[in-house]
Structure 1
Amino acid sequence: MASKRITQETFDAAVKENIEEFEMGAEEAVQEAVEQFESQGVDLSNIVKTAPKVSLDSLQEPTHDVLQALNDLQESLTGSRPQEVSAHLARFCDQCRQQKASRYLAAQKGAYPILLAAWQLAATSDQGLLLQALNALAMLTDGQPDLLDAQGQQLLVATLAQNAANTDLTCCGIRCVRHACLKHEQNRQGLVKAGVLPLLTAAITQHSQHADVVREACWALRVMTFDDDIRVPFGHAHEHAKMIVQENRGLKVLIEAARGRSSIAFPDNPGVLSELCSTLSRLAVRNEFCQEVIDLGGLGILVTLLADCSDHQDLVKQVLSALRAIAGNDDVKDAIVQAGGTESIVAAMTRHLASPQVPTSETWTGQWQGLQRLPPHCQQD
């Protein structure tokens, strides 16, 4: 049975009634309204559970902080006052950061076109203001990908292309891409057509020493290969994976990023290595791609990670998943055996036997049986 929903206005009216009719304080009035609606089976996850505040001049209707920040932002944009725009963007982001309901309410009250205007104002003049606008957009689209329209898609790709050397802008722009594409096939296809894929792979190469950029770019690449939009019967997940590999050297980019300047990149940041391995798994969608991972030296990196980073459970999980993904034929299985992969796999699974996150031998079924049958492995027994 679907949960009941109410509008923010309905909730605010109940709070106001509790204050005016029953002489409750603001906190008590809000709590009473929450209990009242929840007892009726109403879903309040998208409701701001605070009392609207009276404006300083008392001339405007009481409103929520996030909407007041949005109104002030719109006024400063109308007057083309960049310093005020910056201050109000910061206030808006602070409010959106506090709870999901604030982002939802802001979106309902027209936040997207206002942020788009701030974005356009900053795009040609002020990188600091541009970063604030992108950060606000990333927050607003988190869980609300429908907000991004065709104009936003084009502007996002243009912003990434024009600011490719700026680490912070690249990272924030890619976060916008990720939020806009998660569970949204139309945005994925639109951004791919607009040229976002080469920008994502180039970001990993250009900013290979910056963990946040590499992490965000890997995540965004994976999202492009998802088939998670229930509104679309057939997505382009497989086609996008092929484009990343064949047209944008995706496997080479990931393997070189994991290798770094020495044997393994980010030795003190297993989280980034997990992202790289997880993305590698998502791209190994064809037999020749699995072989390409071997040819590029990816297998050696995966085996080394199993041996050197065995204490990090999530990294072990992602490495095992990557090995499982590429173990699609006997040539690849043979390479895994020759590289000492079977011993490393067994050792890793044994070490994390109690963890439900780490694959067991049962998870490997077909690949594991194939590894066991290969002559090189049999001779070691």
Structure 2
Amino acid sequence: MSSRSISQEAFDSLVRENVEDLGMDPEEALADAVETLALQNVDLAGIVKCVPGSAGAGENPVVKSLHRLRALSGSIAGDASARAEAADLLDNLADLCSLHGSDNASIATRNGGVEAVVGVCSRLGLELEEPLVSALSALGSILHDVHSTEMFRQSGGAEVVVNILNGSCGAPKVLDAGFAVIAKAATGNEVVKELFVDLKVDELILKVMKEQTAPQSLYDAICVLLTPDDNRVVASQVFGYARKFAKLGIANSLVGTLCEGKLSSSGLVSACIALKAVAVNDEICRSISENGGIDAIFESIDVNSAHNNKAVAKSCCSLLSKLAGSDDNKTAIIQKGGLDRLMKLSSRFSEDPSVLQEVMSIIGVLSLRSPENAARAVEAGAGELAIQAMQKFPAAYQMQRQSCLMIRNLASRNPENRTILLSNGVEKYIRRAKATHESCREAATDALRDLGLDNYNA
């Protein structure tokens, strides 16, 4: 059942009625109003929950900051002191709306915060870097749900931010804050994604990547723009956007960034996720490989796994699994010693089922419809990896399911592998996963069937 909304005025009126008509003390009246409305499935996000007329009424720091910001907005462009005060207000607003567990971002949205900050951004000249960064950071902190991103769209926020970024390619802090706004604004909102694409954000992204070191937020923006995450939309357009990005050259630029090997670990994770989002078809996957993408991924895996960097290992493996969907890339991965390198990685992270899960995902893709690759995988130790992991981590249901999927591909077209796997006792662990985890039932049944067992449905 969807929630109903209520205005601040109606909420305040209900609290007053509790005090004046029912004789409740102020704090009791406030608590009763909150409880009553919650039971009626009323959405109280963004409502300032304070007794009207009390000392604290009207003193909410978010609301106060927004009121003062509006008062200053007309003089920000030409008055240095007003600009300095506005920057302080924006920094404070960003801190308040980023506070974990608070309702401040909703309060800001409900009280016109998106429109106010977009207005400030539009008035600040590109030469005013520090106030501009403060404004963009505040805007990014307010954008948190579809309501706020719709306010962003309706107030012309996309045009304002793209214009700022197009004129600020030499200002790293502005670029970082601006692309962070794009990522926040496009999250869960298909219409905003489309708007940014119409504004040629792809050309802007490529320009930044070619001319300087791209901020991590740029990779985050690529990923969000190419992710179908708006559940209001039946058919997302992001697949077409990804092909457009690749045709323009963004995929190759991302590969070049990986090949340089200069990214921080967090930047490498974001770049891998972004490249995976662009790699939506066989042609793009092959192009990534032909431009050195697989070599760069393996180099990143080798370097970072030596430092036990789990996040990098997982993101690189996830990207490699996507690229392995191309038959040409399967061959390239095998020829580059991929199976041995993956087994080495699994040894380094033998106590982390989330990494083992990613390793088995790649091996499963490499073995799909390829008995030759499946034989090589078992020779490299993939069967032992699955059995040991399933034995050691019985509660890791996602890893258990991935083990079953990999085993199925190892066995389905390779009778020799079936004999090896069954003789090593894999059946027991597959049946345990099937009995223990509902999410494993189908994958486990398929694995048992392709191992040649008659009672696979048992």
Please indicate the TM-score interval, normalised by the length of the shorter structure.
0.7 to 0.9
Name the amino acid aligned to 2:304: I
Name the amino acid aligned to 1:14: L
Counterparts of residues 1-381 of structure 1 (less than 5 Å): 1-19=1-19, 22=23, 24-25=25-26, 27-39=27-39, 41-48=40-47, 50-51=49-50, 62=58, 64-80=60-76, 81-98=82-99, 101-122=103-124, 124-144=126-146, 145-149=149-153, 151-157=156-162, 159=164, 169-193=174-198, 194-196=200-202, 199=205, 214=216, 219-243=220-244, 247=249, 248-249=251-252, 250=254, 253=258, 254=272, 256=296, 259-260=299-300, 263-264=303-304, 267=307, 269-278=309-318, 287=327, 302-324=342-364, 328-330=368-370, 336=377, 341-360=382-401, 361-364=403-406, 366-370=408-412
Unpaired segments of 5 or more residues in structure 1? none
Distance 1:38 1:130, change over 3 A: same
CA shift digits 1:248-284 (9 cap, x unpaired) = 2356743636734962279354234434444555676
CA shift digits 1:217-250 (9 cap, x unpaired) = 5554443443332333322343344455563235
Q: Give 1:124 deviation, angstroms.
A: 0.7
CA shift digits 1:106-149 (9 cap, x unpaired) = 22333223212332344612333233222222222222332343
CA shift digits 1:29-79 (9 cap, x unpaired) = 32121122233x2233524352168799x9xx8364322211111222222
Count of aligned positions: 371
CA shift digits 1:179-235 (9 cap, x unpaired) = 222222232233345234883897699769xxxx65x55554443443332333322
What is residue 262 of structure 2 aligned with on the other side? Answer: none
Three-state SS of the structure 2 residue aligned to 1:354 is coil
| Conserved? CA contact 1:66–1:102, under 8 Å | yes
Three-state SS of the structure 2 residue aligned to 1:263 is helix
Partners of 1:299 and 1:192 in 2: how far apart?
A: 39
Could you say which structure has the greater relative contact order, defined with CA pairs below 8 angstroms and 6 or more residues apart? Answer: 1
Partners of 1:15 and 1:45 in 2: how far apart?
A: 14
CA shift digits 1:161-186 (9 cap, x unpaired) = 66567665554444333322222223
Distance 1:374 1:131, change over 3 A: farther
Partners of 2:419 and 2:313 in 1: how far apart?
A: 28
| Conserved? CA contact 2:46–2:108, under 8 Å | no
Distance 1:217 1:124, change over 3 A: closer
Name the amino acid aligned to 2:126: T
| Conserved? CA contact 1:221–1:279, under 8 Å | no
Partners of 2:375 and 2:386 in 1: how far apart?
A: 14
| Conserved? CA contact 2:12–2:52, under 8 Å | no
Three-state SS of the structure 2 residue aligned to 1:233 is coil
| Conserved? CA contact 1:92–1:136, under 8 Å | yes
Three-state SS of the structure 2 residue aligned to 1:264 is helix
Partners of 1:156 and 1:340 in 2: how far apart?
A: 51
- Single out whichever of 108-117 and 248-257 deviates more from structure 2: 248-257
| Conserved? CA contact 2:301–2:312, under 8 Å | no
- Single out whichever of 339-348 and 293-302 deviates more from structure 2: 293-302
| Conserved? CA contact 2:317–2:358, under 8 Å | yes
Q: Give 1:337 deviation, angstroms.
A: 5.4
CA shift digits 1:301-340 (9 cap, x unpaired) = 6544322223334344444445545655427656755765
- Provide TM-score, normalisation by structure 1: 0.74
Distance 1:168 1:238, change over 3 A: same
Partners of 1:355 and 1:82 in 2: how far apart?
A: 54
Q: In angstroms, what is the RMSD of aligned CA positions? A: 4.5
Q: Give identity over the alignment, percent.
A: 20
| Conserved? CA contact 2:48–2:107, under 8 Å | no
